[in-house]
């Protein structure tokens, strides 16, 4: 193979990989079966499989655990300057500390339209971990502890709009109704942190705390989830205090993040 052929092969391979990634991005959160990806990209399935393997390894794509479908991993396509990517970099050590102390899985989520989107997860050392929610996982805002904390921290009118628009989607989570969601929101506002169980993952309960930007608008939330038997009321309070204590650290405040009602200065 001569030099010209060698130099041309790299760009061709890159373009084909980007074509597969582009197909996945167009498919959105629902993802696609490899047959459909191959058809849309104009490639053989065997070739598409090779590109998908690389995209998954590098964090640009995810394979659904219960179906042979692939979709884009939102964090994988973020540029270095993306605020979510920056949040993950700055808050990953905090989640690690929370997970180490609690022994349970800790999650960082953001809002994606009317959904919550998992940006990062740290696994604890307790023998049984809650791993159903992975990076890139989306679900209606409020059905998970972090999403509920974020939803409750929104301005009331905005939160009500989200709940109303999610009415149909909520039913898939244990038959959740808008009335029940409003009660959860009210309890979260009164308490200052969220508690929700059996909605997103049966048998699991989570505790969440919202994070606001420098202007006081809720952008992120952190939660800890574990088996319901391990999360009785006293431990719920201790977990909430653990999260709040770590979010009050100077390192977090220097990143211009603060809990609702607390200045980020």
The pLDDT score that the predictor gives to residue 264 is 57
Tens of pLDDT, residue by residue over 135-160, are 778 899 999 999 999 999 999 999 99
Please identify, among 72, 102, 124, the residue that sits at the C-terminal boundary of a domain: 72
How far, in Å, CA of 180 to CA of 52, rounded? 41
Give the Å distances, CA to CA, from 222 to 45, 114, 212, 246: 39, 18, 11, 11
Residue 9 sits in the same domain as residue 40: yes
The pLDDT score that the predictor gives to residue 250 is 65
Residue 65 sits in the same domain as residue 89: no
Please identify, among 15, 45, 72, the residue that sits at the C-terminal boundary of a domain: 72
Domain count, the chain: 2
CATH code at position 16: 1.10.10.10
Tokens of residue 212, six digits: 């606001």
Average pLDDT (72-100) is 73
| 35 domain-assigned | yes
CATH code at position 144: 3.30.450.40
Burial of 127 (C-beta count, 10 Å sphere; 0-12/13-18/19+): exposed
Any idea which residue has 């479908």 for tokens?
69
Between helices 156-165 and 145-153, what is the axis angle to 10°? 130
Residue 11 sits in the same domain as residue 108: no
More confident: 252 or 80 = 252
How far, in Å, CA of 254 to CA of 3, rounded? 51
Tens of pLDDT, residue by residue over 17-71, are 889 988 888 777 677 888 999 999 999 988 998 898 888 766 677 776 556 788 7
Residue 124 sits in the same domain as residue 14: no
Residue 117 sits in the same domain as residue 245: yes
Phi, psi (degrees; rounded to nearest 5) at 177: -110, 165
Helices H, strands E: what count in the chain? 10, 9
Residue 32 sits in the same domain as residue 103: no
The pLDDT score that the predictor gives to residue 8 is 57
Please, which pLDDT band fits residue 6 given cuts at 50, 70 and 90?
very low
How far, in Å, CA of 18 to CA of 83, rounded? 23
| 190 domain-assigned | yes
| 43 domain-assigned | yes
How far, in Å, CA of 178 to CA of 36, rounded? 36
Tell me the residue range of the domain where 152 lies.
Answer: 83-253
Residues 6+ apart with CB under 8 A from 10: none
Tokens of residue 124, six digits: 């604890």
Residue 48 sits in the same domain as residue 96: no
Residue 239 sits in the same domain as residue 170: yes
* CA-based max dimension of the chain: 71
The pLDDT score that the predictor gives to residue 7 is 45
31-35, 59-63, 168-172, 191-195: segment of lowest average pLDDT:
59-63
pTM: 0.69
Q: Which residues of 185-202 are buried (b: 16+ CB within 10 A; e: fewer)?
A: beebeeebbbbbbebbbe
Please identify, among 72, 92, 117, the residue that sits at the C-terminal boundary of a domain: 72
Between helices 145-153 and 178-191, what is the axis angle to 10°? 80
Residue 64 sits in the same domain as residue 131: no
Q: What is the DSSP annotation of 230-241?
A: G--HHHHHHHHH
Decide: 71 and 64 in contact? Cβ < 8 Å: yes
Tens of pLDDT, residue by residue over 50-63, are 898 888 766 677 77
Residue 179 sits in the same domain as residue 96: yes
| 78 domain-assigned | no
Give the containing element (helix H, strand E) for 106.
strand 105-112
| 121 domain-assigned | yes
Residue 218 sits in the same domain as residue 100: yes
Give the Å distances, CA to CA, from 144 to 54, 96, 98, 209: 31, 20, 18, 11
- Cα of 228 vs its chain's centroid, Å: 21
């Amino acid at each position: 193979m001569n030099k010209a052929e060698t130099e041309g092969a790299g760009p061709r391979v890159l373009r084909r990989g980007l074509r597969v990634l582009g197909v996945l991005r167009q498919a959105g959160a629902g993802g696609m079966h490899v047959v459909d990806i191959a058809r849309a990209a104009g490639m053989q399935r065997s070739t598409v499989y090779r590109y998908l393997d690389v995209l998954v390894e590098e964090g640009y794509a995810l394979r659904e655990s219960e179906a042979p479908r692939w979709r884009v991993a939102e964090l994988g396509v973020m540029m270095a300057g993306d605020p979510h990517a920056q949040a993950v970099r700055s808050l990953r050590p905090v989640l690690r500390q929370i997970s180490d102390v609690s022994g349970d899985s800790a999650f960082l989520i953001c809002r994606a339209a009317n959904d919550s989107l998992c940006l990062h997860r740290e696994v604890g050392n307790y023998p049984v971990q809650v791993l159903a929610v992975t990076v890139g996982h989306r679900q209606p805002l409020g059905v998970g502890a972090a999403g509920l904390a974020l939803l409750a921290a929104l301005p009331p009118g905005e939160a009500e709009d989200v709940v109303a628009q999610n009415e149909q989607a909520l039913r898939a989570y244990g038959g959740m109704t808008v009335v029940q969601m409003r009660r959860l929101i009210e309890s979260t506002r009164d308490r200052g942190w969220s508690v929700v169980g059996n909605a997103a993952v049966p048998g699991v309960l989570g505790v969440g705390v919202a994070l606001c930007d420098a202007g006081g608008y809720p952008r992120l939330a952190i939660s800890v989830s574990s088996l319901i038997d391990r999360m009785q009321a006293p431990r719920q309070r201790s977990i909430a205090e653990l999260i709040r204590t770590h979010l009050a650290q100077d390192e977090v405040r220097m990143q211009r993040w603060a809990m609702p009602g607390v200045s980020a200065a």
